[in-house]
Every structure is written in C-alpha cells, then in structure tokens.
Amino acid sequence: MGKLLSFMQVTLDGYFAGENGDIAWTHKNDDDTEWKKFVEGNAQGGEGPLVFGRVTYEMMASYWPTPQAKRDAPVVAEGMNRMRKVVFSKTLDKVSWDNTTLLKGDLPAEIRKLKGSGKDMAILGSGSLVAQLTQERLIDEYQIIVNPEVLGRGKTLFAGVLKPLTVKLMQTRAFGNGKVLLTYAL
C-alpha cells in the first residue's frame, strides 16, 4: 500500500494562505543555500504522483511550465514538469499541464485506489484537500514548514476537520532562513 504525504507551508500563526489566497510569504528568504537544496531535493520526487486540488493546480500549472520558472528554479521546474500529477476538481473540464490526470470522482475512494498502486504520493499545498483527507484519516505523513511570518488572519490548515487527530512527531529540522520543518506521522 502506498503512502500519502502532505507537504504544506504555514505561518507561525497557523495559516496556509492569506484571506485572499496569497502565499507570497512562502518565498521569502528562498536564497538560503540549505533551504534551496532541500527544495531541489524534494522536486526530484518519487514514483507516485503529486496530488493537487484545483486552486493549487491552477497556480502551479500557470508557473512551472513557463520560461520564467526554468530561469528562476531550473531544478525544481524540471522536476515539477516531469513528475506525474493528479488534480481533483469538480469544476475543471480538462487539464493542460504535461503528465496530469484529472479526477472527478469521490475523493476518498480515488485516493484509496491510488494508494493501492503501492506508490507513495505527495499533496502539495491544497489546503481543502488536506482537510478532507485528514478527516478521512487517509494522510500517512504531514510535512509542515513553519515560516517566521504572522498574518493575523487567513485560511487555516485543518478547517473543517471534525474529529481530533493525534500524530507522532518524527523529525524536526531548522533552516538558516528561519523556516522549520515538522514531520508528523499517524
């Protein structure tokens, strides 16, 4: 059975996006060498697909295939464009980013099928997807980057989760730019 990992960046006060969906704060201090190597390493991916909700998919698909992305972050752009991707949406009719499959079925059922392939998958961003799949206990590992930013208001990571969830801290890692990786597993 494949595992499902969630990779999310949040502010110190727990928001994954500002009120209007702004995530520009996630790119502050990206010039830290250790952080850059970490991001580039993650962009190499695994055998399984990246998993997105519609909003995150549209944001990623509008940037990573562009010449600008290839200039700004060539290693990450190459990985993002090469990896298989799955987007869950009830409103999209088609997807245009290479190696992307659109799924419109029941989210938990589709994720269970994908996990049955035996390949590990990673959700990038996609806050509402994370909340829905957390509610169903389908995420095996949470990698949360805490950023040294305070927004005061915005979109919280686990909005809509009704049942308490206890996870086990597996790893912490602090970066020179002030970001901290917290890895939790069920």
Residue range 12-28, pLDDT digits in tens: 999 999 998 899 999 88
Structural contact between residues 92 and 118, judged by C-beta atoms closer than 8 angstroms:
no
Note the Cα 10 to chain centre separation in Å: 11
pTM of the predicted model as reported, rounded to 2 decimal places: 0.92
pLDDT tens-digit series, residues 44-71: 877 889 999 999 999 999 999 999 999 9
Partnered with residue 8 across adjacent β-strands are 144
| CATH of residue 21 | 3.40.430.10
Q: Both tokens of residue 41?
A: 């390493």
Residue 150: pLDDT band with limits 50, 70, 90: very high
**What is the extent of the structural domain holding 148?**
4-185
Could you give the CA distance from residue 63 to residue 58 in angstroms, rounded to a whole number? 9
The tens digit of pLDDT for each residue in 62-97 reads 999 999 999 999 999 999 999 999 999 999 999 999
Q: Cβ neighbours of residue 8 under 8 Å, at least 6 residues apart?
A: 16, 123, 125, 127, 130, 142, 143, 144, 145, 157
Q: How many domains does the chain have?
A: 1
